[in-house]
């Protein structure tokens, strides 16, 4: 079973700061997901990446497959970025291109103060 570790668990920063959230996993994967969960509970998929780097607005996600590590960066952070950020890696539920589930990290609770 893949172990997914995130750090830090909690992060409070001032508006405008550069934010980094880290994720490491124990078993090689094909892709990694970064998700955002708002206080109401709804989850939105931010990125799915299998190599290199992806950028969407002020969010940047990087992954190093060899080191089994990914980072999520937020540039020019804003209070509306406050949320729980979760990384997740897939695992096969059965072989032959069948269903796969996700193993989730416990999340990083980010608070951006104005």
By the criterion CB under 8 A, which residues form the site for other proteins?
4, 30-31, 33, 35, 40-45, 48, 86, 88, 90, 93, 97-99, 101-102, 104-107
Q: Which is nearer to other proteins, 72 or 86 (CB)?
A: 86
User: Across the strands, what pairs with 44?
Assistant: 36
Q: Which is nearer to other proteins, 97 or 114 (CB)?
A: 97
Question: What is the β-pairing status of strands 83-92 and 32-37?
Answer: antiparallel
Minimum CB separation from other proteins for residue 93, in Å?
Answer: 6
C-alpha–C-alpha distance, residues 4 and 24, integer Å: 6
C-alpha–C-alpha distance, residues 114 and 102, integer Å: 34
């Amino acid at each position: 079973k893949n172990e997914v570790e995130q750090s830090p668990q909690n992060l409070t920063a001032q508006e405008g700061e550069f934010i980094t959230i880290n994720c490491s996993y124990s078993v090689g994967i094909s892709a990694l997901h970064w998700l955002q969960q708002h206080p109401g509970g709804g989850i939105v998929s931010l990125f799915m990446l299998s190599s290199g780097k992806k950028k969407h607005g002020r969010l940047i996600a990087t992954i190093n497959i060899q080191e089994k590590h990914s980072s999520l960066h937020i540039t020019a952070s804003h209070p509306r970025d406050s949320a729980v950020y979760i990384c997740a890696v897939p695992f096969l539920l059965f072989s032959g291109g069948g269903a796969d589930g996700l193993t989730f990290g416990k999340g990083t609770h980010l608070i951006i103060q104005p």
